[in-house]
Amino acid sequence: MSVTPPFWRQPPPPLNPDFLQQGHQRQASLTKPAGSLGRLEQLAITLSAQQQRPRPAVDRVRIVVFAADHGVCAEGVSAFPQEVTGQMIANFVNGGAAISVLARHLGAELEVINLGTAHPLLAHDGVVMAEIAPGTANLATAAAMSEEQLQAALSAGRDAVQRAAGAGTELFIGGEMGIGNTTAAAAVACALLDLAPEILAGPGTGLDADGIRHKVAVLHRALQRHRDTVAEADQPLPVLASLGGFEVAALAGAFLAAAQARIPVLVDGFIASVAALAATRLQPGLTDWLHFAHQSAEPGHARVLAALDADPLLRLGMRLGEGSGAAAAVPLLRQACALHNQMASFQDAGISKGQ
């Protein structure tokens, strides 16, 4: 009797070569010098191949914010108390957060998922309650999560994508919220990239120089504590379980599930990119489905983007998370689609084409 492998073991489909060819032909026919619209041209071509239609569109955008707390906050690695995670969940659904404003401006659907907060959160209209535990364990002294908890987090990401696919989503954005999550993301990135914490750790929610030095010391202890896991960094699931966060794992699961469902993904900042890094270590073919929105001000983000061979669309000095940098890049994707779909061809306009 055959056993179906877990979804994260299933590779995403390749991009459709026929639509890639048609996209290039379409761009070559438009009333402009070849390549004169730069990356907007390739964006449209890639979206066309991802969506398997000659006229791509990103009108229906789903933004999913995964929220969870982190046991490593016991080490004093954040400038904000853990109560803020739950308070921000309420702020998201009440419409006061940056991502809430951006979602409204874009006409995007916003879903908020509670994966587990240190301070109990009552059921709230607009919040998907998918609690795994009251946050992860302290990664500096123990594994952040069990194998079962990791699987639950990955599956929460898949479930969110299934809801998005059922709503006809044309573009998926994953955001995150969790006090302490830049520490967890930096730990995962250090392990996967074999880089020192001094290179990847940054201010997160606003640490000063002494706070960053302390954060680096905590990361060194964590990496030493999990040195056997780190030594097998080609195995991203044990790294996520030992050093990650529920929302980081959920993002990784969501990115994989979105690609499997042929939904393009617009990746946000440092934490989302670390999740993408882990997910691409599981399934290298995922890279065909990822668009990278921006390079954040978090110092380690440039290194993670380089490891992903990613050239972000924007550099605005943002470091908020929540999916906000990705939301800011959506108009560029929409403009790329509009130009691809609506420009006249040389033949249509009666214009002679150069050699």
Catalytic residue positions?
322
Selection from 64, 67, 45, 65 nearest residue 56 by Cα: 45
Separation between Cα atoms, residue 259 and residue 286, nearest integer Å? 6
Contact 48, 176 (CB under 8 A): no
Contact 278, 255 (CB under 8 A): no
Contact 293, 329 (CB under 8 A): yes
**Tokens found for residue 67:** 């929220």
Contact 174, 268 (CB under 8 A): yes
Per DSSP, what are the bridge partners of residue 174? 64
- In angstroms, the Cα distances linking 290 to 58, 65, 123, 171, 280 are 14, 17, 33, 10, 10
| DSSP annotation string for 97-151 | SHHHHHHHHHT-EEEEEEEE-SS-----TTEEE---SSS---TTTS-SS-HHHHH
| Stretch (H or E) spanning 308 | none
Residue type, 156: A
Separation between Cα atoms, residue 118 and residue 101, nearest integer Å? 26
